[in-house]
A and B are shown apart, each in its own frame.
Chain A
């Protein structure tokens, strides 16, 4: 396997050919913020939080989808990138109804963590207050679209790991919604295996286990590495 050497934030880093800048950076201890990326699933570049500057390129690049190249000079945390990330998270907070104080995921939420990490103490944009539904027709789980950030982790884990492809996305832009089957109630889904993987990978309280109240939800993603390693290495090791 050929190895590429590049510079990330002034640090010499190596990555395998084809590996993403994002992975190479994380392996070197440079933690680029992210929301739609989760180790073990394919990357889609949906959230734009992992944008980086690459010397010689006028456009910013989503580091999760950009492979390392020999001699690349990458910057991951310039004031310009910080400003973009801040705005992205503010856009997410303004787009739907994220009321942390009454959310199951309060205190354990990736969106909340990102806002804190970026120093967001208020949202400069006007809150949209869209009227979105909650589907609690499933016996064990629920989805609150008010808290969905459209990262599509649920869609990908259901398709790529569970192999059910119950989840998908309908609509465009701000009207996009994750749906089960052909936009039918989750509880009536014929493809859902009730494995709960979608709930565990969801970064916010959008997908939740029933019976949990404010701030009680904890997501457990250990299964993902376990299954993905088993597939790649043919060994069931933790």
Chain B
């Protein structure tokens, strides 16, 4: 095992109830991803394709907590990460993901799986592959304590970059985007 590599900070990114736009923005770091990879290990991410939640120093959480799987994941993430970052407006406010809170879960499912689906197979119930929706979509900080909030829909690559490198530099108040939307 490479001892130098072991000492590098471990960064994870996860994708809960969001559109992946924040991860697209993260990918827009482009060549700066190489610099990031030199300074830290990306131990889990949708782009790394790991299935388990690893121990991490920093975890960026995209998306709101919308179903039972998200709920389980976010609790495990909180337990295993030192710095938890609500990454983008869905994680911070619920944003578009939470728009369904204006309706009952049953109505939302019927709309998606019956009224507007072809062919109509019906609402998946009791199928463990499709996690059950929570009654209410919640921003991450309503479920577990959050250390930093990275606003934006999505936050820009420059903002993500500045924030992450500030954190890696050990700054207590890393530069953050100051705006919803």
Contact = CB atoms under 8 A, between A and B. Distances in A.
A141 interface: no
B107 to A, nearest CB: 12
Nearest to A107: B181
A122 interface: yes
B147 to A, nearest CB: 11
B142 to A, nearest CB: 7
Contacts of A103: 181
Interface in B113-163: 136, 139, 141-142, 146, 149, 151, 153
Helix, strand, loop or mixed for chain B's interface?
A: mixed
A106 B181 contact: yes
Given A100-B89, A126-B142, A119 B180 contact: no
Nearest to B100: A129
A237 interface: no
Interface string A78-103: 00000000000000010001111111
Contacts of B89: 100-101
Contacts of A93: 93
B78 interface: no
Nearest to B150: A121
A144 to B, nearest CB: 13
A190 to B, nearest CB: 32
The residue among A98, A106, A126, A129 with the most chain B CB atoms within 10 A of its own CB is A129
Contacts of B94: 127
A101 B153 contact: yes
B101 interface: yes
The residue among B142, B149, B179 with the most chain A CB atoms within 10 A of its own CB is B179
A116 interface: yes
A16 interface: no
A112 B146 contact: no
Contact of B149 (A121, A127, A131): A121
Given A121-B149, A129-B102, A131-B102, A101 B179 contact: no
Contacts of B48: none
Contacts of B95: 99, 101
A127 B97 CA distance: 13
Contacts of B146: 122
Given A122-B149, A126-B142, A101 B96 contact: yes
B181 A100 contact: yes
Contacts of A100: 89, 153, 179-181
Nearest to A117: B178
Nearest to B101: A129
Contacts of A127: 93-94, 98, 101, 139
A129 B86 CA distance: 21
Nearest to A127: B94
B99 interface: yes
Contacts of B93: 93, 99, 122-123, 127
Interface string B161-178: 000000000000000101
Contacts of A102: 96
The residue among A119, A121, A215 with the most chain B CB atoms within 10 A of its own CB is A121
A11 B84 CA distance: 43
Interface of B: 86, 89, 92-96, 98-99, 101-102, 136, 139, 141-142, 146, 149, 151, 153, 176, 178-181
23 contacts: A93-B93, A99-B95, A100-B89, A100-B153, A100-B180, A101-B95, A101-B153, A101-B181, A107-B181, A112-B180, A112-B181, A116-B178, A121-B92, A121-B151, A122-B141, A122-B149, A123-B139, A127-B93, A127-B94, A127-B139, A129-B102, A129-B136, A215-B181
Given A99-B95, A109-B181, 9 more contacts: A101-B153, A107-B181, A116-B179, A121-B178, A126-B142, A127-B94, A127-B98, A131-B102, A215-B181
